[in-house]
Structure 1
Amino acid sequence: MGKLVKLVIKDKIAEVTIDNPPVNALNAQVIQELDETVEVIKGEEVGAVIITGAGEKAFVAGADISQFPSLNSDTGKKMVQTGQRVFDKIAALPIPVIGAIDGFALGGGCELALVCDIRIASEKARLGLPEVNLAIIPGYGGTQRLARLIGEGKAKELIFTADAVMAQEALQIGLVERVVPAGETVNAAREMAQKILSKGPLAIRKAKQAIDEGLKGSLRDGLDIEADLVGELFATEDLKEGATAFLKKRKPNYKGL
C-alpha cells in the first residue's frame, strides 16, 4: 500500500500494519496513508480489519513530537482535525475493526486503539494518554472515546496523571477486551476475525450499526434502531438460510444477501 502503512487482504481479512520505525509514530505521512488505506478497504470485499504495528516494541507510540514546536493555534487545530477525520473514517467502517496491540500504545497510538471495535493486547502492552506531560491534551479523540469506553472518572484519572497502564490493568478497567502472550496478538486477532467471518455478514454489520448508533442517544432511541435493523434482516436470504441450517443441523452458507 504505502511506505509506512502496509495493507494485506487475505481471506476477506484486511491487515493494516503501521511500519514507521523506531516506534511507529503517527506523523503526517502515516495519517495520510491510513486515510488512503481506509479508502482501499472500503472498495474491497472485506469482512473484518486488523490494525497493528510492526515489531514488538510499539503498536503506535504517539504522535511525532518533533513537529510540535513549529505549530501554532491554527496549524495545531488543523493537524488534530485531520487526525480526527481519519480516525472517524476507521471507526465508521461498517465491519469489525480489531486492534492487535503489542508494546507501547501511547498518545495517538492509544487513540488509534480506541477507534477499534475490539482490542487485543499482549501481556507486555502498555497503554496511556501522556499528553499533559507536554502541556497538551489528547487531540485525536482521546478525551471523548476513552471516557465513553471506561467511564468518566477513570478516564480523567488516566488523562490528568498521564499514567500508562499495563495490559492486565487495561483488561480490568475495560480498555482492552483480551490479553494474550507477547507476539501472539495478530494471530489472536486473525482467529477472532475468522470466527466473526463465519457468522452472517449482514448481521455483523447491523449489530455494529445498532451498537454505535444506539449509544449516541437514549435507550429508547437505541431500541428503536435495533427493532428497525432486525426488521431489515428478516427480509434477507441470509436470515432464511441461517434458520434453515439451524433446523436441519447443518453449517449455514451465507451469501450476504
Structure 2
Amino acid sequence: MAVAYTFADPRLAKLDGFGVEIDEAKQRADIVLNRPPFNIVSMPQRDQLRLVFETLDEDERVRVIVVRAVGEHFSSGGNIKGFMEASPETVSKLAWNIAAPFRASKPVIAANRGFCFGVGFELSLACDFRIVTDTTQYALPEQKLGQIPGSGGSARLQMMVGITRTKDIVMRSKRISAQQALDWGIATEKVADADLEKATDALVDELVAFSPMAQRTAKKLLNDTEDSPLSIAIELEGHCYSRLRQSHDFKEGVEAFHEKRKPEFKGC
C-alpha cells in the first residue's frame, strides 16, 4: 500500500507542485506531478525534484522510481514567467536538476499521457523507460518563445533519434505522436490510455525481480558508454562482467537456473 513519503531534509518539507509516495511491499516510489490540469513545473520545483531523486536513490526500501502525473496531461512544460524572473545561477542549474533520473542508480520509469512538452519531455527523456498512451504528445516548443531547450532535451533527443529528426522536432517546435515516438525509439512501450497504470505496475514488478546489483551495473555501464567508441565500451563491459562474476547474486542466479527455481537476489 502506497503512503506519503516522509523527508528529513527541511528543503522538502513542503513540495511545490508534486507529491511522493512509497510502497515498501512493492519496493517502489512514485513522484507524482500534481498541479492540474497541465502540471506546469515551477523553478523551485526543479531543484526539489533533484533532491527527491537523490533521496530515493539512497533509500534501501526503494528499487524502482516512477514519475507520473495527476490528470489528463503529464506536463505542458515549465512556468514561462519563471524564466524571466530566475537568476543566472538558477538557470545554469536547469539541465543538472532535470538530469537527476539519469544519474540515479535505480531504474526510473516515466508514465506519460497527454501533453508532455518542454521540461516535461526533458524530464521523461532523462528516465530509463517511457511508457506512452494513445493521447501522448511529445514536443520541445521553445522556438516559439525565441529560445531553445535548456534542460538537456535537444542533446538527449539527438542521441536517441539522430540530428535530422531532432532538427525537425526542435527547430519546428513539432509535436510527436505516441506512435511516432515508439517507431523512433523514444518511447519504450505504447498502451491504451486506460492501461497506463497497469502497464507501469507490470514493468515495476518485472524490474524488481532482477538482481539490484546487476541492474545498477547495467544502467551505469549503458549510460557511461552511450557515446564511447566500441572498443572502450566492450572493455568496460568486460570489467563490469568480471566484477559481477564475484557477486552473491550471480551465484544465486546460476544455482536457481540449474535447480529450476526462482532466484532470491540479495543485491550483494
TM range (shorter): over 0.9
Instruction: Please tell me the residue identity of whatever aligns with 1:14.
Output: A
Larger displacement relative to structure 2 (37-46 or 140-149): 37-46
Partner of 2:151: 140
Partner of 2:9: none
Where in structure 2 are the equivalents of 1:154-165 lying within 5 Å? 154-165=165-176
Cα distance in 2 for residues equivalent to 1:82 and 1:247: 50
* 1:25 equivalent among 40, 56, 61: 40
Instruction: Please tell me the residue identity of whatever aligns with 1:9.
Output: I
Partner of 1:5: 18
Instruction: Please tell me the residue identity of whatever aligns with 2:96.
Output: R
1:183 CA displacement = 3.5
RMSD: 1.5
Cα distance in 1 for residues equivalent to 2:165 and 2:185: 10
Cα distance in 2 for residues equivalent to 1:105 and 1:256: 34
CA deviation map 1:57-96 (0-9, x unaligned): x11111101234446xxx3x43332221112222111111
Mark the runs of 5 or more structure 2 residues left unpaired by the alignment. 6-14
Cα distance in 1 for residues equivalent to 2:223 and 2:30: 22
Partner of 2:10: none
Partner of 1:149: 160
Instruction: Please tell me the residue identity of whatever aligns with 1:115.
Output: A
Cα distance in 1 for residues equivalent to 2:27 and 2:165: 37
The question of whether the paired residues in 1 share the 8 Å contact of 2:100 and 2:126 is answered with no
Cα distance in 2 for residues equivalent to 1:200 and 1:69: 45
**Secondary structure of 2:194's aligned partner:** coil
**Secondary structure of 2:74's aligned partner:** strand
Partner of 1:178: 189
TM-score (ref. length: structure 2): 0.90
Instruction: Please tell me the residue identity of whatever aligns with 1:105.
Output: C
Q: Work out whether 1:53 is the aligned partner of 2:66.
A: no
1:9 CA displacement = 1.5
The question of whether the paired residues in 2 share the 8 Å contact of 1:4 and 1:33 is answered with no
Larger displacement relative to structure 2 (158-167 or 210-219): 210-219
The question of whether the paired residues in 2 share the 8 Å contact of 1:132 and 1:162 is answered with yes
CA deviation map 1:164-216 (0-9, x unaligned): 01111111111111111113323312210110111121111111111111113
Equivalent pairs, count = 252
Partner of 2:11: none
Where in structure 2 are the equivalents of 1:174-253 lying within 5 Å? 174-253=185-264
CA deviation map 1:72-121 (0-9, x unaligned): xxx3x433322211122221111111110011000111111110111001
Instruction: Please tell me the residue identity of whatever aligns with 2:153.
Output: G
Change (3 A) 1:248 1:70: closer
Q: Work out whether 1:109 is the aligned partner of 2:120.
A: yes
**Secondary structure of 2:29's aligned partner:** strand
Cα distance in 2 for residues equivalent to 1:196 and 1:120: 14
Mark the runs of 5 or more structure 1 residues left unpaired by the alignment. none
Q: Percent identity?
A: 28
Cα distance in 1 for residues equivalent to 2:51 and 2:83: 24
